[in-house]
Amino acid sequence: MKVRKYMVGTAVLLGCSGAAFADALTAVNYGGATGDAQTQAWVKPFAAKSGIAADAIEYTGDQAKVKAMVDAKNVTWDVLEVESADVGRGCQDGLYERLDWSKIPNKDDLMPGSVTPCAAGEYVWSEVLAYNPTLTKSLEPHGWKDFWDVKKFPGKRGMKKEARYNLEYALMADGVPPQDVYKALGTASGITRAFAKLDELKPYIQWWDAGAQPPQFLAAGDVVMSTAYNGRIDAAQRAGNKNLAISWDQSIYDLDFFVIPKGSKNKDAAQKYIAYTLTPEAQVAFAQHIPYGPTNKVALKLLDANTLGNLPNAPKNAKNAIPDSVDFWTDHGDGLEQRFAAWAAK
């Protein structure tokens, strides 16, 4: 999840005295509702069951700070939450320890893409089409063609100010089948086609940067529809905002990962923590706190129907969804983001 605009400097110490703090496992996450869910579902139970003191802190997702720690050989973090885009680069650049998968007994139960040399997939999240039903007059938009249809659904559209995912949405709105999106984006003509489609919608776009903004824009009536993180919409709904809904059609899902920063003083404890979070029981507990899906396939079978129905990797929600292509954005992301920034500034 990209919650990089938020930074909280507090730490929650769990089950350890001041003398033991130096040896406590430090688990670092993106904060917000996701961080709260990790604390309740993983950090506190792990500390209680293992006897290993643990604390949870929040960060912005900036890997430069991780690199500075590693280069200075002064690593104070033990388990770190990172995005899929950071996994390959960080492992290649020596920022992360290689995981000992022999110490993670649930390896064979994990979904494809969860097992990498340096990272373990912790949960599945999705960027979705969210809308305000009162503003769409109870009509439900289905996919990005409807998102682009300002005649059928008059009003502004919220979109994150970056190329990633917006180019995919533009191609799907222009009729490219979801399964062919990255093939099309791999060509110059496909990229031109995506930007041309974005040109059509540009006068109606209200940009967002932080994950908390789409539900705010929708609730205030500033936009009729918006791209949004599914967990942010759910959190707003749980807080009592009933004028929010999700269309899962053509959503894009991705994984967030756990890594161990190179030089962690608690590497063994970090391995144990990661193994704990990947157990079916721990994965179920997390999904019950926030609607991000388990990477452990056994956990999916243990969830009640109501919880499962709100997850990105529930069968009905994933039916018309596509996985984010980490390889594509690793290879082409810098150039496309520069082009997008120039386009957005015009």
Question: What are 248-304's pLDDT values in tens digits?
Answer: 999 999 999 999 999 999 999 999 999 999 999 999 999 999 999 999 999 999 999
pLDDT tier for residue 16 given thresholds of 50, 70 and 90:
very low
Q: Could you say which architecture CATH assigns to the domain 125-253+321-345?
A: 3-Layer(aba) Sandwich (3.40)
Compute the distance between CA of residue 110 and CA of residue 279 in angstroms, rounded to an integer. 10
Compute the distance between CA of residue 98 and CA of residue 263 in angstroms, rounded to an integer. 11
Residue for token pair 């940009």: 207
φ/ψ region of 165 (left if φ > 0, alpha if ψ in -120 to 50, else beta) reads left
φ/ψ region of 184 (left if φ > 0, alpha if ψ in -120 to 50, else beta) reads alpha
Domains 11-124+255-314 and 125-253+321-345 share a fold: yes
pLDDT tier for residue 22 given thresholds of 50, 70 and 90:
very low
Render pLDDT for 128-159 as a digit per residue (tens, 0 to 9).
999 999 999 989 999 999 999 999 999 999 99
In sign, the C-alpha dihedral spanning 88, 94, 96, 97 is positive
Q: What residue ranges do the domains of the chain occupy?
A: 11-124+255-314, 125-253+321-345
Give the range among 19-23, 26-30, 60-64, 216-220 with minimum mean pLDDT. 19-23
pLDDT tier for residue 247 given thresholds of 50, 70 and 90:
very high
The greatest distance separating any two alpha carbons of the chain, rounded to the nearest whole angstrom, comes to 65
Mean predicted lDDT score pLDDT of the chain: 92
Compute the distance between CA of residue 124 and CA of residue 296 in angstroms, rounded to an integer. 10
Hey, what CATH topology would domain 11-124+255-314 get? D-Maltodextrin-Binding Protein; domain 2 (3.40.190)
Compute the distance between CA of residue 73 and CA of residue 263 in angstroms, rounded to an integer. 7
Helices (H), 93-241: 143-148, 166-173, 181-185, 188-201, 213-220, 230-238
Compute the distance between CA of residue 70 and CA of residue 96 in angstroms, rounded to an integer. 9
Cα-based distances in Å from 110 to 60, 101, 278, 299: 27, 12, 8, 10
Compute the distance between CA of residue 170 and CA of residue 328 in angstroms, rounded to an integer. 16
- Closest by Cα among 215, 222, 223 to 239: 215
Buried b / exposed e over 89-121, threshold 16 CB at 10 Å, is ebbeeebbbebeeeebebbebbbebbbbebbbb
